[in-house]
């Protein structure tokens, strides 16, 4: 095993087992069945619903039988992203990972620590006969990464706990007590074609870092879809044809790569190359700190016979430029917190449409509506279709919280330091659980992770151990 010898041993054992099981969002049957099989083998009560969510119950240990029931919660799916030049079939291949000093890293893909580490910690606790803990209800949800639809379908009649510990945060020494709400927004342009006899070329934006569209939207990293729109707009002076656009793969990941297939008259090729090179230099300067390896290239492609009609070409370019991207507003109450944002995560040409998929986030419901309406207005002006889905609520700060105080006390006893209490712009399932399960007391925490939702995702091995020990101490303290 790659993780042999790492501590906590059983946490990393289960984590590595999870990396062997395909679990991209909406492909969770195999991992859900695995979790059910583990629970059955441990002789625990387990429920698997139609959404493939898993609920596992374990009685309190001796002396803790009548203490408050605690919910430990995480999600089983992961964002499946890979480096452009790396081959992997996420539907069957294990995640290739390595140990590098204190890091467990997937050099060429996402690691799935978001949120496999939560599942691994929960299974290790469920398996143990030595850990002291109150009655436990472990909830492992599906499809968190593309809509949180699993959490919304949890059967509340199976849940007794009123304290929930979500292990879906990425910074040790911090607990989260509030998060943004959000929705997915899509606009679609019906494809209209014309004849074309121009020479085909591929315009490519690559080399961007990408990242989590909630956690890292404030880094101002380049968005390949937006940049593609800028270059296409600059190329309009040569009257090129456009017949395909494709960028990003997940609406909640900042897109790293985007391409456009275009047609250029032979006598205008040199002019086109000059424009592309100029834009490449300009954007390299703009992103020299956030994305130093950004590259914009024009490569020869196949000849074309059809292309988008001119009004569709112009509409696609307008949408790429006009759809809000990045931070929209910073919080006026919490320093450094993003209050509202949008990520134009996916652009694709498929099934007779050009589609633009965004992840809108805000801790303020009116600003979420405003950003959605901005995108709808763009769609209306351009004559495109508009729809939204995957709505999830914000998790509002709770003034009085028993579990928050337990975490603070346990962290102080273990480290001698104050635990940071913060809010987050990323969406968490806690907001949904507050609606589905009623007024419950929640915190979110987790070990140090970096680069989630992007190739090269990594997690600190020692931080996993410290975070797991904090969880065990918290469970011992709940009366």
Residues ≥6 apart with Cβ < 8 Å to 284: 292, 294
What radius of gyration do the chain's Cα atoms show?
24
Note if 380 is an active site residue. no
Handedness of CA 450, 424, 187, 153 (dihedral sign): positive
Q: Two tokens at 364? A: 């303020």
Integer Cα distance of 20 and 5 in angstroms: 18
Integer Cα distance of 410 and 413 in angstroms: 5
Q: Two tokens at 380? A: 């209306």
Catalytic residue among 144, 172, 291, 441: 144
User: Which is nearest to 331 in space by CA: 422, 420, 211?
Assistant: 422
Q: What is the dihedral of CA 392, 396, 401, 407, to 10 degrees?
A: 70
User: Which is nearest to 460 in space by CA: 101, 73, 153, 134?
Assistant: 101
Note if 45 is an active site residue. no
For 231, counting Cβ atoms within 10 Å of its Cβ (0-12 exposed, 13-18 middle, 19+ buried), the class is buried
- Residue 25: CB atoms within 10 Å: 21
Identify each DSSP E strand in 351-419 by its residue range: 353-362, 385-392
Q: Two tokens at 6? A: 């790492």
Residue with tokens 């906590």: 8
Alpha helices in 61-160 (DSSP H): 113-127, 149-152
- Evaluate whether 132 touches 67 at the Cβ level (below 8 Å): no
- Evaluate whether 214 touches 180 at the Cβ level (below 8 Å): yes
Q: Two tokens at 49? A: 């619903």
For 19, counting Cβ atoms within 10 Å of its Cβ (0-12 exposed, 13-18 middle, 19+ buried), the class is buried
Residues ≥6 apart with Cβ < 8 Å to 99: 2, 3, 6, 105, 461
Identify each DSSP E strand in 42-191 by its residue range: 45-48, 54-58, 70-75, 98-100, 103-105, 136-141, 163-166, 174-190
Catalytic residue among 17, 28, 51, 77: 77
- Residue 27: CB atoms within 10 Å: 16
Which residues are known catalytic residues? 77, 144
């Amino acid at each position: 095993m790659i993780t042999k010898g790492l501590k906590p041993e059983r946490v990393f054992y289960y984590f590595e087992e999870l990396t062997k099981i395909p679990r991209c969002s909406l492909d969770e049957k195999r991992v859900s069945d695995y979790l059910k099989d583990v629970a059955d083998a441990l002789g625990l009560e387990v429920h698997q619903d139609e959404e493939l969510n898993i609920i596992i119950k374990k009685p309190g240990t001796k002396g803790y039988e009548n203490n408050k029931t605690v919910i430990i919660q995480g999600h089983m799916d992961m964002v499946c992203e890979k480096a452009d030049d790396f081959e992997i079939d996420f539907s069957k291949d294990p995640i290739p990972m390595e140990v590098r000093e204190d890091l467990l890293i997937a050099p060429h893909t996402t690691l799935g620590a978001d949120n496999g580490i939560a599942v691994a910690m929960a299974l290790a606790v469920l398996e143990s006969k030595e850990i002291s803990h109150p009655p436990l209800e472990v909830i492992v949800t599906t499809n968190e990464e593309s809509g949180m639809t699993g959490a919304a379908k949890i059967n509340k009649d199976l849940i007794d706990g009123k304290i929930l510990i979500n292990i879906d945060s990425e910074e040790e020494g911090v607990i989260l007590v509030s998060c943004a709400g959000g929705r997915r927004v899509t606009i679609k342009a019906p494809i209209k074609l014309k004849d074309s006899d121009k020479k085909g070329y591929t315009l490519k934006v690559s080399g961007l870092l990408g990242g989590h569209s909630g956690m890292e939207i404030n880094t101002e990293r380049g968005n390949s879809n937006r940049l593609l729109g800028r270059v296409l707009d600059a190329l309009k002076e040569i009257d090129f044809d456009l017949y395909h656009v494709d960028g990003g793969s997940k609406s909640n990941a900042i897109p790293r790569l985007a391409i456009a297939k275009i047609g250029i008259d032979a006598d205008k090729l040199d002019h086109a190359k000059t424009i592309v090179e100029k834009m490449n230099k300009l954007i390299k300067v703009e992103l020299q700190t956030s994305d130093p390896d950004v590259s914009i290239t024009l490569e020869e492609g196949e000849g074309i016979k059809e292309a988008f009609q001119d009004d569709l070409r112009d509409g696609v370019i307008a949408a790429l430029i006009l759809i809000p991207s990045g931070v929209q507003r910073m919080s006026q109450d919490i320093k450094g917190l993003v209050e509202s944002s949008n990520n134009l995560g996916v652009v694709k040409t498929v099934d007779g449409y050009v589609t633009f998929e965004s992840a809108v986030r805000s801790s303020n419901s009116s600003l979420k509506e405003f950003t959605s309406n901005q995108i709808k207005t763009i769609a209306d002006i351009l004559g495109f279709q508009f729809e939204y889905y995957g709505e999830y609520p914000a998790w509002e700060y709770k003034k009085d919280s028993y579990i928050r105080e337990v975490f603070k006390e346990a962290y102080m006893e273990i480290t001698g330091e104050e635990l940071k209490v913060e809010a987050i712009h990323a969406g968490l399932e806690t907001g949904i659980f507050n609606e589905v399960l009623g007024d419950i007391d929640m915190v979110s925490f987790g070990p140090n992770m970096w680069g989630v939702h992007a190739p090269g995702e990594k997690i600190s091995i020692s931080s996993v151990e410290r975070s797991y020990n904090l969880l065990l101490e918290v469970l011992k303290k709940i009366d």
